Structure 1
Amino acid sequence: MASLSIIVGIIGNIISILVFASPIETFWQVVRQKSTGNYNGIPYITTLLSTSLWTFYGVIKPKGFLIFTVNGAGAIFQFIYIILFLAYAPKDKKVQTGMMVATLNFGFVGSVIAISLLAIPESVRLTVVGILCAVLTIGMYASPLSAMRTVITTNSVKSMPFLLSFFLFLNAGIWSVYSLLIKDFFIGVPNSIGFVLGSAQLILYAIYKNKSISAKSTEEMEDRSTRGLVKGMIEMRGLEDDEEAGLKNRSGLHKGRSLPKPSVNGQNSFQRILKTLSLTPYEIHSNNWQYNHENDIEIGAKKITSDY
């Protein structure tokens, strides 16, 4: 039984480290762009808080070496992420994040360790720290509930990446098994809750994945129809302009006048519609272009109509 728990614990270490390493790509982009953009530092602060306390729990727990190693590695990952965030964040975010780090990751964690070692009897010390760690872990596993609600309301799985949900599911499952083998209630309860929530995420993903694909296909068909309609309007307008210009040219030549100048409104509407046709599919679906795209088509169509 002891050897089985060690094997399961090692597997749990590997999976947890993969989860901790998942933001590396995000921070690689932050370093390349030298900006944190719209990213928030709170998830890394709370994860550092959780892993730091679990590391302490692994230190004071007999035979808690595997708990210490995985959470110690996680704390190192989160600390590096926070340093990078502070290095490239705007001044206001930098100050806010720095204050939270000082309060939670140094002040709170330091207070818990000091009080546990100096004021709490050794007989109940592990219980107090274990309860605190379990509560924080339950909060961490409950955080994807907002993403699950978004999936249901939008019929889209964009807000819930599959790989992250899958690895969190595996992580909670393997540590639930480990807790049964070593009979640790504080590890078992939060990870069992995480396993249930992870299963729910995967079920939601399976249900709404096809709906997301169908919605995307519908949007693409609507975009193609809209672009085809605008293109047809431009071609019709071009033919009519050519006919009108030919008549005016013949009339102008007979009367000895110069060639007519094109309408400014016609030029502007034509340029606006051409601008929409030059967009790539990515730009058409982006939030920044969507409002301007619709306005350009509406304004161009109105101006073409008014030119008659």
Structure 2
Amino acid sequence: MAEILRLVIAVLGNAASVALYAAPMVTFKRVIRKKSTEEFSCIPYIIGLLNCLFFTWYGLPVVSYKWENFPLVTVNGVGIVLELSYVLIYFCYASSKGKVKVAMTVIPVLLLFSVIALFSAFAFHDDHHRKKLLVGSVGLGVSVAMYGSPLVVMKKVIQSKSVEFMPLPLSMCSFLATVLWLIYGLLIRDIFVAGPSLVGTPLGILQLVLYCKYRKASVVKEATKGDMEKANLEKEDMKIGKVEINVIN
């Protein structure tokens, strides 16, 4: 029964995490359509990429015992593809200054992962405990940073009183994924799997609270903006009408 429960939670956790990694597609469709990264930050996606790299490596038999952490490999493998795609799209449409910033962030991130992966593979030989301790500890720190990165967006939401740059699907998927992986980590008694969710779950709740609080303000702001644009159009039409009357007279 316990094994079935772990499997169910793992499948649900995989589904929620894939949805979480796929949620920014809406944002990047907008980036591609407008050919601009606007005020979006690439940092959360770079941290997300690093997180997926570490936990894919953590789940492989090189670090873990055989395939005991196979669910981590599947979901984070998908995450690597998606997060890398987001970073590349961001790089393509960023300004010259933005491109430099992305490159200066991505290169150290990839070097960090490469060094840790090589060290864990060749320094400890078959000592899975030490490998898991090294990779898991670094991965735990990266995951905390990943779940903490929305704090920047939340600050922007509070300052602007707008949820434009904090989409609901992303916040909802983040909350569900952290809750499910917290449960799964506790079931398999792995602190490196459950640990990040101890930070991610409260932050996910906070995002949903902020969304509920400022969603109405965003709707009112959009409606006011629409009314102003309509009024401006009406003024322009009136001016054109007056000009036409004067010409006829």
TMscore range, shorter length: 0.7 to 0.9
Gaps of 5+ in 1: 228-273, 280-308
Between 208-217 and 16-25, the greater mean CA deviation after superposition: 208-217
Is 1:172 aligned with 2:178?
A: yes
- Aligned length, in residue pairs: 230
The match for 1:118 is 122
Check whether the contact 2:40–2:165 (CA below 8 A) recurs between aligned residues.
no
Structure 1 counterpart of 2:154: 148
The whole-number CA distance in structure 2 between the counterparts of 1:157 and 1:90 is 24
Q: Determine if the alignment matches structure 1 residue 109 to structure 2 residue 109.
A: no
Q: For 1:238-295, what per-residue CA distance to the aligned partner results, in whole angstroms no more than 9, with x for missing partners?
A: xxxxxxxxxxxxxxxxxxxxxxxxxxxxxxxxxxxx778349xxxxxxxxxxxxxxxx
Extract unaligned runs of 5+ from structure 2. 238-249
Q: CA deviation at 1:195?
A: 1.0
Matched, 1:277 2:235: yes
The yes-or-no answer on 1:25 pairing with 2:37 is no
Deviations 1:174-205, CA, capped at 9 Å, x for gaps: 11111111111111121122111111222233
Change (3 A) 1:276 1:61: farther
Question: Residue 278 and residue 46 in structure 1: after superposition, are their counterparts in 2 closer, same or farther (change >3 A)?
Answer: farther
1:15 aligns with 2:19: no
- TM-score where L is the length of structure 1: 0.65
Within a 5 Å distance, the mapping from 1:92-241 to structure 2 comes to: 92-105=97-110, 107-120=111-124, 122=127, 123-213=129-219, 219=224, 223=228
CA distance in structure 2 between the aligned counterparts of 1:84 and 1:69, rounded to whole angstroms: 23
Asked if the contact 2:23–2:169 (Cα under 8 Å) also holds between the matched residues in 1, the reply is no
Distance (Å, rounded) in 1 between the aligned partners of 2:214 and 2:38: 29
Cα shift at 1:130: 0.9
Q: Flag the structure with more relative contact order, 1 or 2, with Cα contacts below 8 A and sequence separation at least 6.
A: 2
Q: Which has the greater radius of gyration? A: 1
Give the match for residue 52 of structure 1. Answer: 53
Distance 1:39 1:208 in 2: 19
Aligned-partner Cα distance in 2 for 1:35–1:220: 22
Q: Distance in 1 between matches of 2:39 and 2:6?
A: 42
Specify the SS of the correspondent of 2:114: helix
Question: Once the two structures are superposed, what CA deviation does each residue of 1:13-52 show, in whole Å capped at 9, x if it has no partner?
Answer: 1111111112223333444555545544333222111110
> What is the distance in 1 between the residues matched to 2:149 and 2:133?
25
In the alignment, the residues of structure 2 paired with residue 191 and residue 53 of structure 1 have an alpha-carbon distance, to the nearest angstrom, of: 16
Q: Percent identity?
A: 31
Moved more, 28-37 or 181-190: 28-37
Using the TM superposition, name which of 6-15 and 149-158 deviates more.
Answer: 149-158
Aligned to 2:69: 64
Distance of aligned partners of 1:35 and 1:206 in 2 relative to their CA distance in 1, 3 Å threshold: closer
Root-mean-square deviation (CA, aligned residues, Å) is: 3.0
After superposition, the C-alpha distances for 1:145-195 in whole angstroms (9 at most, x for unaligned) are 233334444444334322211111011111111111111111112112211
Deviation, 1:113, is: 0.6
What residue identity is the alignment partner of 2:199? I
Task: Determine helix, strand or coil for the equivalent of 2:166.
Answer: coil
Aligned to 2:86: 81
> Could you say what secondary structure the match of 2:163 adopts?
coil
- Matches of 1:145 and 1:11 in 2, distance apart? 26
Q: Which amino acid aligns with 1:5?
A: R
Alpha carbons of 1:212 and 1:26: their partners in 2 closer, same or farther (altered >3 Å)? Answer: closer
**Secondary structure of the structure 2 residue equivalent to 1:20:** helix
Evaluate the alpha carbon distance shift between residue 115 and residue 150 of structure 1 in structure 2; reply closer, same or farther with a 3 A threshold.
Answer: same
Measured against aligned partners, the alpha-carbon deviations of 1:76-95 in whole angstroms (never above 9, x if no partner) come to: 11222233333444444334
